[in-house]
């Protein structure tokens, strides 16, 4: 077996299951999980209709590159959403089976293990960045996201000798778990660093369509390129998904877009990888990328939930107001995220994710996720409000007199 498998860390939900083992929550309270970022809102109906209407196409092998119609739908959406002067659907777009699969595969294709191979990742982070790096023979370099830097990676703190060995930098904007958004100026700074130190930028933007201010959508990496006149998107790739935007996590549909040379190499890798998107899924995806009405409605629903939960929890918990995503990232009273999580489950039958499970010890030896929990506000408004009321009740009951 690949010896690098032994370097993989337990997945956060494995650790959570072990933490809760042996705990018996109150029988009279229904379980409310706020752990997994799996949207519970209704999937976009027209996408499901298209899936059914084209079900006979499951009898055909799909092409790795996807159909021209899908690539054009994706390119058209990206041009409209990010104000791009152009995005060539033939050379700069590649459909993928969700961002998780694509992020993992991209690192395997892109990392050159014949030389020092660091991959810079935000910390805390989506664990696929780390796992993909380790299995590709690379070394993660953690960029701490703390309250002092508004929960964004501090690029200025990275010394030149580290940049020298970095081959890929991952950004996640809007951030998981923090909800922080990378400003255009920081994207541009990172592009300049990539040119100076010869690394690639992979921007995970799968939460980009879940933002709280309708007038201020989060910017993206390709948008930053466009403001620099960099219409070839050199060194840059973005990853987008229908999972959050259209409540279709099980469809496993997304795309990668950017530098044509990187897309060509990644397409060649994926041809051997054997992960082409099924044709009925492509038809469903076309329907979703071509419609914005359902996305507006989805944002409205999340805004209502965020407003209600914030009103309940703000008096007892300290958390940044996220600009986007569907997570809250509060500090826990007492500072022990594992103890808080276990006791909350035991007393109120609410599951949350300890923040320390999403981070690693950083440059100062501290885990920047420690002392916080991630709340995924993905259930319907009533269930999420109920969970928030139980959390507040638990905190108020546990507070010292």
Rg (CA), the chain: 21
b/e map of 4-43 (b: 16 or more CB within 10 Å)?
Answer: eeeeeeeebeebbeebeeeeebeeeeeebbbbebebebeb
* Ranges of CATH 3.40.640.10 domains, the chain: 46-290
DSSP codes joined into one string, 178-194: T-----HHHHHHHHHHH
Integer distance in angstroms from the first to the last C-alpha of the chain?
56
CA within 13 Å, CB half, 29 = 20
Identify the H or E element spanning 93.
strand 93-96
The number of residues in the chain equals 401
* Ranges of CATH 3.90.1150.10 domains, the chain: 3-42+294-398
> How far from chain centre, in Å, is Cα 106?
15
pLDDT (tens, 9 = 90+) of the chain, 401 residues, equals 988 899 999 999 999 999 999 999 998 999 999 999 999 999 999 999 999 999 999 999 999 999 999 999 999 999 999 999 999 999 999 999 999 999 999 999 999 999 999 999 999 999 999 999 999 999 999 999 999 999 999 998 899 999 999 999 999 999 999 999 999 999 999 999 999 999 999 999 999 999 999 999 999 999 999 999 999 999 999 999 999 999 999 999 999 999 999 999 999 999 999 899 999 999 999 999 999 999 999 999 999 999 999 999 999 999 988 899 999 999 999 999 999 999 999 999 999 999 999 999 987 789 999 999 999 999 999 999 999 999 999 999 987 65
Helices then strands, counting H and E runs in the chain, come out as 14, 12
Identify the H or E element spanning 33.
strand 32-33
Question: Which CATH architecture does the domain made up of 46-290 adopt?
Answer: 3-Layer(aba) Sandwich (3.40)
Which residues are CB-neighbours of 98 under 8 A, at least 6 positions away? 241, 243, 249, 252, 253, 254
Query: Whole-angstrom Cα distance, residue 77 to residue 291?
Result: 9
Which tens digit of pLDDT belongs to each residue from 372-383? 999 999 999 999
Q: What is the pLDDT of residue 401?
A: 54
Query: Whole-angstrom Cα distance, residue 167 to residue 103?
Result: 15
Joined together, the tokens standing for residue 287 give: 């329907």
- Model-level pTM? 0.96
Q: Are 177 and 329 in contact (CB under 8 A)?
A: yes
b/e map of 251-270 (b: 16 or more CB within 10 Å)?
Answer: bbbbbbbbbbebbeebeebb
Query: Whole-angstrom Cα distance, residue 161 to residue 51?
Result: 50
Domain covering 3-42+294-398 assigned CATH 3.90.1150.10 in the classification: yes
Q: Are 177 and 374 in contact (CB under 8 A)?
A: yes
């Amino acid at each position: 077996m690949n010896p690098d498998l032994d370097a993989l860390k337990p997945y956060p939900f494995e650790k959570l299951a072990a933490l809760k083992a042996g705990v018996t929550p109150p029988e009279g309270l229904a379980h409310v999980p706020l752990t997994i970022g799996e949207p519970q809102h209704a999937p976009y109906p027209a996408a499901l209709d298209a899936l059914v209407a084209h079900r006979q196409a499951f009898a055909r092998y799909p092409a790795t590159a996807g159909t021209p119609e899908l690539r054009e739908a994706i390119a058209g959406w990206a041009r409209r959403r990010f104000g791009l002067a152009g995005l060539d659907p033939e050379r700069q777009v590649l459909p993928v089976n969700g961002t998780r699969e694509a992020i993992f595969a991209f690192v395997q294709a892109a990392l050159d293990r014949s030389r020092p191979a660091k991959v810079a990742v935000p910390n805390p982070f989506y664990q696929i960045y780390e796992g993909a790096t380790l299995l590709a023979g690379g070394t993660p370099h953690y960029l701490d996201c703390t309250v002092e830097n508004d929960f964004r990676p501090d690029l200025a703190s990275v010394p030149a000798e580290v940049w020298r060995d970095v081959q890929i930098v991952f950004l996640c904007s809007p951030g998981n778990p923090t909800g922080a958004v990378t400003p255009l100026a920081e994207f541009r700074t990172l592009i300049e660093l990539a040119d100076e130190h010869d690394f690639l930028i992979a921007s995970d933007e799968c939460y980009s369509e879940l933002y709280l201010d309708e007038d201020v959508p989060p910017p993206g990496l390709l948008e930053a390129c466009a403001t620099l006149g960099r219409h070839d998107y050199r060194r840059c790739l973005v990853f987008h998904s229908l999972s959050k935007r259209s409540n279709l996590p099980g469809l496993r549909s997304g795309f990668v877009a950017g530098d044509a040379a990187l897309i060509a190499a990644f397409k060649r890798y994926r041809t051997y990888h054997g992960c082409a998107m099924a044709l009925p899924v492509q038809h469903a995806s076309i329907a979703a990328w071509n419609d914005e009405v359902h996305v507006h409605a989805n944002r409205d629903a999340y805004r209502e939930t965020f407003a209600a939960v914030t009103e309940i929890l703000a008096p007892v918990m300290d958390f940044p107001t996220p600009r986007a995503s569907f997570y809250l990232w509060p500090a826990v009273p007492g500072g022990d995220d594992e103890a808080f999580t276990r006791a909350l489950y035991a007393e109120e039958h609410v599951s949350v994710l300890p923040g320390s499970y999403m981070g690693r010890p950083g440059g100062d030896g501290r885990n920047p996720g420690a002392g916080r929990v991630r709340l995924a506000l993905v259930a319907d408004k009533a269930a999420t409000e109920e969970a928030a009321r139980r959390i507040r009740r638990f905190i108020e009951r546990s507070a010292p007199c």
